[in-house]
Amino acid sequence: MDLKRLYEHTREYQYHNDQLKRLVEISITLNSTLNLDKLLAFIIQTAAELLECEAVSILLYDNEKSNLFFAASSASDPIKLAEIPVPLSESLAGKIFLENNSLILNDVEKDPRHFALAAQHVNFHTRSLLGVPMRIQDQVTGVLEALNKKNGEFTLADEGILSIIASQAAVAIRNARLLKELEVAYDITLEGWSNLLDLRDEETEGHTLRVAQLTLQLARELGIGEEGLQHIRQGALLHDIGKMAIPDSILLKPGPLTKAEWEVMRQHPVYAYNFIAPITYLRPAIDIPYSHHEKLNGKGYPRGLKGDEIPFAARIFTVVDVWDALTANRPYRTAWPKDRTIKHIQKRVGTHFDPQVVKAFMDIYPSKFME
């Protein structure tokens, strides 16, 4: 073997070795990611890089509408593409889905099955296509497409690579969608619990959903990311869950509480902690239910935390909780005017309330809190 051929074989070996390593990395990432949006973005980006093509699209099957839809795409405008149903009987993706077979076309526009409407909608010119079914065991769940090979034509080797990605992606997408459905179910359950709490404690009807929404607005102003916002929302919805363990004779007492009754009432954050802590999914939301009655000067309850010892989520929530409590009517007093409530909060900056949180509160007041 001459040096030129040896060099070419070495380069080819290195190329295939790099591809194999990348496929292993892709497999690891797909099996460790449960955020659906991030997962879809990762699949189309890495597949496009590995196959050296202009775009990649993921089409998933909609059981109710009996067609495919674009779940993700790197072709021009994925939001517009998502609006277009892709019929099974009149598209190349539908053919791949129905026949459960891969398809390579290096001159797409000559094929009468080409669903040109999608490409026209986003002004994308499709020249070549490699499509493979996305399967979980024997069930086809969608189609993974690679579009417009940059150099040369799609090959059987490309088909093998895309098929490996598709098989891994199908399982990962299913798991991420199941988690998303579970999260929605949890949220509906949490809202149901909050409604029950408000119904039990009639003087605070609607309080929980209001403070949850206002706390999210304030948290965004303070730069909290999406994952943190999810935990904050759950914590806000559950902030008074511990009151479920407070006897009606105390919780619903029309007059002032005795010292002994206050001792019982002040245990509700502890009851909340005991309720939430064993639930793995809800544990990141525990800061607000457990710590929203703490004060910066250490004179709050149940633990007497000071300053930064109080979780930031709880410091955010406390301002909103006091705002909503004072500006709502209660059996023992009418609602305070908003300007009086603002003065009350400002007066307690540094002792009860976090200065950074109050500043952010004032920055969006009255645009948000006066709505």
Tell me the CATH number at 272: 1.10.3210.10
Query: Quick one: pLDDT at residue 123?
Result: 76
φ and ψ of 99, to 5 deg: -90, -10
Where does the pLDDT of residue 195 fall: very low under 50, low under 70, confident under 90, or very high at 90 and above? confident
Where does the pLDDT of residue 176 fall: very low under 50, low under 70, confident under 90, or very high at 90 and above? confident
In a domain, 190, yes or no: no
Q: What are the pLDDT digits (tens) for 197-226? A: 776 665 556 788 889 999 999 999 999 998
Cα separation values, 143 from 92, 134, 168, 277, Å: 10, 5, 13, 41
- How much is the average pLDDT of 251-279? 90
Percent of the chain with pLDDT over 90: 49
In a domain, 327, yes or no: yes
CA distance 171 to 231: 26
Q: Which residue has the higher pLDDT, 81 or 47?
A: 47
Question: What range defines the domain where residue 347 resides?
Answer: 201-364
107 shares its domain with 250: no
Q: What are the pLDDT digits (tens) for 129-170? A: 999 999 998 899 999 999 999 988 999 989 999 998 998 889
AA letter at 169: A
Q: Per the structure block, which two tokens stand in for 259?
A: 């010292």
Residue 13, pLDDT above cutoff 50: no
161 shares its domain with 12: yes
**Which of 141-150, 211-220, 241-250, 349-358 shows the lowest mean pLDDT across its residues?**
241-250
Q: Which residue has the higher pLDDT, 281 or 19?
A: 281
Q: Three-class SS string for 201-216?
A: CHHHCCHHHHHHHHHH
33 shares its domain with 129: yes
Q: Residues, the chain, total?
A: 371
CA distance 229 to 108: 45
- C-beta separation of 46 from 165 below 8 A: yes
In a domain, 91, yes or no: yes
In a domain, 349, yes or no: yes
67 shares its domain with 158: yes
57 shares its domain with 142: yes
- How much is the average pLDDT of 264-274? 94
Most confident range (mean pLDDT) of 278-287, 309-318, 323-332 is 309-318
112 shares its domain with 248: no
Residue 66, pLDDT above cutoff 80: yes
124 shares its domain with 223: no
φ and ψ of 186, to 5 deg: -60, -45
CA distance 90 to 67: 10
In a domain, 371, yes or no: no
**Which of 187-196, 198-207, 237-246 shows the lowest mean pLDDT across its residues?**
198-207
In a domain, 275, yes or no: yes
Where does the pLDDT of residue 7 fall: very low under 50, low under 70, confident under 90, or very high at 90 and above? very low
User: Comparing C-alpha atoms, which of 293, 338, 343 is closest to residue 317?
Assistant: 293
312 shares its domain with 211: yes
Q: How many CB atoms lie within 10 A of CB 113?
A: 14
- Eight-state DSSP code of residue 98: H
Where does the pLDDT of residue 100 fall: very low under 50, low under 70, confident under 90, or very high at 90 and above? very high
In a domain, 250, yes or no: yes
Q: What is the CATH number of the domain that holds 63?
A: 3.30.450.40
Where does the pLDDT of residue 179 fall: very low under 50, low under 70, confident under 90, or very high at 90 and above? confident
Write down the pTM of the prediction. 0.63
16 shares its domain with 74: yes
CA distance 44 to 30: 12
Overall number of domains in the chain: 2
57 shares its domain with 115: yes
- How much is the average pLDDT of 263-275? 94
In a domain, 83, yes or no: yes
Residue 303, pLDDT above cutoff 70: yes
Query: Quick one: pLDDT at residue 335?
Result: 86
Nearest 5°: the CA angle 115, 120, 125 is 85
Residue 265, pLDDT above cutoff 90: yes
